Amino acid sequence: MSLDIRLFHDALAAHDVRFDGVFFVGVTSTRIYCRPICRVRAPKAVNCRFFDTAQQAEQAGFRPCLRCRPELAPGNAPVDDAQRIASLIVRRLEDGQLGDEAGLEAVATQFELSSRQIRRIVRRELGVAPIQLLLTRRLLLAKQLLTETTLPMTEIAFASGFASVRRFNDAFVRRYRMPPSRLRQRIAEEPAAATGETSTLQLAYRPPYDWSSLLEFLAARVLAGVEQVSDRSYARTVRLGTAKGWIRVTQAKKRDALLVEFTHTLTPVLPALLARLRALFDLDARPDIISARLAGDRLLARAVKANAGLRVPGAFDGFEIGLRAILGQQVTVKAATKIASRLVEAFGEPMTTEIEGLTRLTPTAAQMAHATVDDIARHGVVQSRARSIIGLAKAYDAGELSLDGGTHRDPADAIARLAELPGIGPWTAHYLAMRAIRWPDAFPKEDIAVRNSLGGVTPREAEAMSERWRPWRSYAVMHLWRIGAVPALTRR
């Protein structure tokens, strides 16, 4: 079995949405081809043929799957910009920026289409009308708030995006055939209590989960004023649109879940908040499949066993991680974090919280785009990197660049676009692909710690060695960073 077949089959078995549109699989026993996210049981590797495009699969004599519909895979929709439009609408739904017909009209205007065309595209791409997609997301959030918090029914209705309690009740009865008050009464366990100005929700994950290692990683890079990390929790200030507040995340004791305490000022943007936290803590990973692949490598076997459930920390804010990545070029983590904290103190908006140490909001792209090179350089940033920060901020603020996970359908293209920005080299682009774009197969081969863990090899040699870890090289990098101080592992 070739290396390519092995790595593609591993990605197929994971049903990981991050590989959707990257490749297609044809099953020789059925002569049907599917997307890697198809929920049917993964066929044996010997019965699989893998293709870069749906067209290649059809030319080889395979028929499209009627369940996963390969023609709707990202980058393969029959209408120009269709997937991009659908993805934009989903992101705006999650960010709370699309709540009525006016929102659809704005999207239609942006793409120079009619609202009717927008509705047709969304139905084709996502299988439902925009209004149904919006309603489903509102009801699912309401259901979670009903079962996990003691927020008043009125607050739940508005936090979920409904214009009135009456509309909330009507929609809930139609969909679930019971009033929302009955659902709350039927919960066997007491919901998490709302304490003062906060409530708590849970975010589930697949075990095992190396919570302590993730906190250790974040603690080494903590932004003073914005973040606070202890050996048990992660807390930070939050700004999403006009909503401001703070969150604190801990690990549940008896469930495979994280507990998110959030201020009620953030309830209007809960979908966006929870989506960003799932990305930050890599909650959608399949540790069983990833570890099974990496544990078979002699170099990584001991590390994988010692750090079961190791995750790739994501990014809560795309511009924030981009700023920090630029500052991290050719300096230590400690030095980069210190400089980043100075910029927070200089440009971050002051904020009062009940958590000691959380006193600032992270600087926005708009704020940094209006700064001068001298404004940034006076805080210990060399001028070349100050110019890179301003260039990144302007591109991000103008909407020319996105560092949000799930918005890039071609990881290689996204990495290449990042590398085209002034001051963004291959290391920075792949680091951002790992943490911001959430690409599981990114590999910053120039990273000195990675190369040292591999025995002091060159970047080209590191790239060659990494082929055996595909398609989970981002996770291999995390293990290499952890074993970098144990030379015995590289000598064996």
Q: At what angle do helices 115-126 and 130-148 cross, to 10 degrees?
A: 60
CA 27/CA 18 separation, integer angstroms: 21
- Considering the candidates 10, 34, 38, 210, report the single residue annotated as catalytic: 34
CA 342/CA 225 separation, integer angstroms: 10
CA 50/CA 248 separation, integer angstroms: 43
Q: What is the DSSP string of 463-477?
A: HHHHGGGTT-HHHHH
Check: CB of residue 438 under 8 Å from CB of residue 405.
yes
Question: What residues have CB less than 8 Å from 231, skipping those under 6 apart?
Answer: 212, 215
* Phi and psi at residue 92, to the nearest 5°: -70, -30
DSSP structural state of residue 269: G
Q: Work out whether strand 48-51 and strand 198-204 pair parallel, antiparallel, or are unpaired.
A: unpaired
Q: Is 65 a catalytic residue?
A: no
Q: Is 288 a catalytic residue?
A: no
Q: Work out whether strand 63-64 and strand 32-34 pair parallel, antiparallel, or are unpaired.
A: parallel
DSSP structural state of residue 68: T
* Phi and psi at residue 271, to the nearest 5°: -55, -45
CB atoms within 10 A of CB 180: 23
Question: What residues have CB less than 8 Å from 48, skipping those under 6 apart?
Answer: 5, 8, 9, 12, 25, 26, 27, 28
**Among residues 220, 198, 227, which one has the least CA distance to residue 357?**
227
Q: Which two tokens stand for residue 109?
A: 């205007």
Q: 337 in helix, strand or coil?
A: helix
- Considering the candidates 16, 20, 282, 447, report the single residue annotated as catalytic: 447
- Beta bridge partners, 33, equal 26, 64
CA 190/CA 185 separation, integer angstroms: 9
DSSP structural state of residue 62: P
CA 167/CA 361 separation, integer angstroms: 35
* Phi and psi at residue 259, to the nearest 5°: -105, 125
Residues noted as catalytic: 34, 447
